[in-house]
Amino acid sequence: MQSHPGRAASTPGSPAYPGTPRILSFSRGEYRGAESFISPHTILADLTAEIAAAGGSRAAAPMSVTLDVPRALQIEADGEIIRRMLAPLLYRSVAATASRSTVGPSSREVLVTAVGYPDRIEIEFADSGPGLTLWERNSLPRGISTAAPRESTDPLLDDVLRLAVSIGGTLSAIECPEGGSAVTLSLPIHRAALRRAA
C-alpha cells in the first residue's frame, strides 16, 4: 500500500461486500453530529469499531485496519455530513481488502491516513485489495490513466463524489504500485463551504 506523500505514516467494491472480516486493530472514539469542530479520527474510529462488532461472530480471514489520523486534525462541520462521506470510503476499502485472495504470508490491510493544510484536510483510504474496478475508475477518473468511457459507474463513489464537490472538496483514486488502491478525500476546513451541503 502507499501512504499519502508528506504524511508521517507507517506503511502497514461496493457497499455490499462479501462477508465481514475480523478486525485486528482499531481505536474507538465519539463525535457530535451538531455543527462544530469535529475530528475525523473519532468518526473513523467509531466506524471501524462498528465493522469489527458486526464481524465478530463470523469466521473470515483476519484483517488489520490502521488509523493514522491525528486526533488534533479537526474540521468545522456537521458530523453527519462528514460521516456520510467517510463511511462509504472505509467500507469500500474493507470490502476490497476482504475480496483479495491471500496466498502465503500476504496480509490484508487497510490504512487510513490524514494530513492537514491551512485550508483543507486530506484523508486517504489505502487498501491491499485487487485494485480499482472498472466502475470505480469511471467514477473517479482523476489520478489514474484510463480511456474507459464513463458509462458504468459505482453508485457509492458517485454519491461521495457528488457530496464532496458540493462542499468544495475533491475525491481522487489511484492504483498503488505494490497492489491495492488508494482513494483520497480532500475537504475544506472552513464552515462556510461545508454549510452548502446541509
Q: For 57-77, what is each residue's pLDDT tens digit?
A: 444 557 789 999 999 999 988
Q: For 5-34, what is each residue's pLDDT tens digit?
A: 443 333 333 333 444 444 433 333 344 444
Q: Is residue 12 part of a domain?
A: no
CATH of the domain at 56: 3.30.565.10
Q: Is residue 59 part of a domain?
A: yes
Cα(112)–Cα(64) distance, rounded to whole angstroms?
Answer: 11
Give exposure, 144-162, as e/b (b: 16+ Cβ within 10 Å). eeeeeeeeebbebbeebbe
At 106, the pLDDT band (50, 70, 90 cuts) reads low
Look at residues 104, 78, 96 and name the one whose alpha carbon lies nearest to residue 13. 96
Q: How many domains does the chain have?
A: 1
Q: Is residue 56 part of a domain?
A: yes
Q: Is residue 10 part of a domain?
A: no
pLDDT of residue 37: 85
Q: Is residue 96 part of a domain?
A: yes
Neighbours of 20 (CB within 10 A): 19
SS3 assignment, position 77: strand
Cα(2)–Cα(177) distance, rounded to whole angstroms?
Answer: 8
Q: For 127-163, what is each residue's pLDDT tens digit?
A: 999 999 888 888 876 544 444 445 688 888 899 998 8
DSSP 5: T
pTM of the model: 0.73
